[in-house]
Chains A and B, each alone.
Chain A
Amino acid sequence: MWKPPTVIANTTRGRTTEETRRQYMSEHEISVTVNGERHELAVEPRTLLVTALRDELGYTGANVGCETGRCGTCTVAVNGETIKSCTRLAVQTDGAEIETVEGLADDGDLTPLQESFQEHHGLQCGYCTPGMLLSADALLATNDDPTREEIREAIEGNLCRCTGYQNIVDAIEATADRLGERR
């Protein structure tokens, strides 16, 4: 039977996490609240927020894409503002409230935005989706009736390599319409 290969997470230039920890004594104890749950962890200063979220805390919703602050698939909200978590050091977020895509669905129940992405085929490979959802969520929190142009501006910092923008904009627009009907 096929078994997945054993992956040693968070290796640094061939060293395992523990070896790296021994090498660098300047680890910092930090505490972050992710999707309402408080975590204490030790990070090297150079650990990016996205790396800490994924490899230390298991929030793999934030993806690593370009790692240069362009693609936006690592988007998370820090203290209520969406940022690219590859362009923030984990140690800088000590004490912060962080929201990742895992925090959107309530106990497995998708939000209207997530349902709309499903309904309107707002994802193809899905790699950009976590960032798209968080950017769209931030838009709808402040603008409940955005134009298509405003939607496009809101997801300007999120690249979809499948180029599925049309359906993503449709999905966000339909969510706003649906939320409007409920009012």
Chain B
Amino acid sequence: MYMDDFEYYRADSVENALELLADHDGAELIAGAHGLLPRMKTGDESPSALVDIGQLSGLDAIEARDGERDGDPGGISIGALATHTEIAESETVREHATALADAAAELGDPQVRNGGTIGGNLAHGDARSDPPAPLLALDGSLEVRSPDGERTIAATDLFEGPFETAVADDEIVTAVRVPTDADAVSGYHKRRDPLSGYAMVGVGVWLRTDGETIEAARVAVTGATTNPARLPAAEDELEGSAVSEETITEASAQAGTTLSDEAFVSDVQASAEYREHLLSIDTERTLYEVLEVDR
């Protein structure tokens, strides 16, 4: 299996990587190589040059930041080069962004989790992958840098279509940011495609509750749809409702209603109609798990 030839440059800093990207037309970034390399082998992508940022130091830190100050939004910061293993094993992520830790632990297999990075995963925009749903449910964002400076891309603006994201060709993802809320709980449930190991349906849920009433809710899907998406009908049903079996049933039934029929993936594993059906079932499971309601 030989790919088309390309030039290779190893960057020694983010600035250097930005220069290399700017200097070489058609260049792409590579780090863990788990997004781009498989697509280069199949010929789906053939960049003229690769800029390797995999060895940059300091881009893999996972830390909880104190509240907003000096323009920093606070919450959790996960360096773009953090591997899925590092995220799955991080107590900080487990405690404050449980859904993201769940997704990292469910992604691929041990070797894939050791190799792949969160920044690459999200910039790659594979709608079958696990992290997009928790990122949407946690209202996270990406910090990116370009020669023009820094900007933040909200999760809701990130996913533009299959392998298309709002991260521009001259930009580098430096960190994933997730706001934290002491009164919130979150989780991710995956229905694994038995063939590929990707999510056939993946549901991320974030809820703020006082134990009796759900004050705020965010629900998002990956895998079942051609683009990872929030599920506003389920969120509306949850917000202001009591923490109960009935609320979970009602909200789960609404899960796919705001999505068009075309939004669902239809393939050899499952039809669009069946995926919509599974989305309700898996939303229900995720809500039961996150709310710890017995049934």
Contact = CB atoms under 8 A, between A and B. Distances in A.
Nearest to A45: B8
Nearest to B49: A45
B114 A83 contact: yes
B50 A45 contact: yes
Contacts of B52: 91-92
A46 B6 contact: yes
Interface stretch (B104-112, B130-138, B214-222): B104-112
A24 B3 CA distance: 13
Nearest to B83: A81
B112 A45 contact: no
Interface stretch (A65-73, A100-108, A117-125, A161-169): A65-73
Contact of A81 (B1, B4, B85): B85
Given A67-B1, A89-B37, A92-B30, A45 B6 contact: yes
A175 interface: no
A135 interface: yes
B110 A138 contact: yes
A4 to B, nearest CB: 25
B7 interface: yes
Contacts of A91: 8, 10, 52
A112 interface: no
B33 A92 contact: yes
B111 A157 contact: yes
Given A45-B50, A92-B52, A67 B41 contact: yes
A45 B115 contact: no
B2 A84 contact: no
Interface string B55-89: 10000000000000000000000000001010000
A59 to B, nearest CB: 17
A87 B35 CA distance: 9
Instruction: Please report whether the interface of chain B is mostly helix, strand, loop or mixed according to DSSP.
Output: mixed
A178 to B, nearest CB: 23
A100 to B, nearest CB: 14
B236 to A, nearest CB: 37
A28 interface: yes
A73 B52 CA distance: 25
Interface in A37-51: 44-46
B34 A87 contact: yes
A79 to B, nearest CB: 10
A121 to B, nearest CB: 24
A17 interface: no
A94 B55 CA distance: 10
Given A92-B33, A92-B52, A28 B8 contact: yes
B2 A13 contact: yes
A157 B85 CA distance: 14
Interface in B106-134: 108-112, 114-115
A135 B3 CA distance: 28
A158 B109 CA distance: 9
A54 interface: no
Contacts of A156: 109-110
A88 B75 CA distance: 33
B54 interface: yes
A75 interface: yes
A89 B33 CA distance: 8
Contact of B114 (A28, A44, A82, A158): A82
A70 B3 CA distance: 18
B196 to A, nearest CB: 8
A83 B7 contact: no
Interface string B18-52: 00000000000010011001101100000000101
A72 B109 contact: yes
8 contacts: A68-B41, A69-B34, A84-B115, A89-B33, A89-B50, A91-B52, A92-B10, A154-B110
Interface of A: 12-13, 24, 26, 28, 44-46, 67-70, 72, 75, 81-84, 87-89, 91-92, 94-95, 135, 138, 153-154, 156-158
Interface of B: 1-8, 10, 30, 33-34, 37-38, 40-41, 50, 52, 54-55, 83, 85, 108-112, 114-115, 197
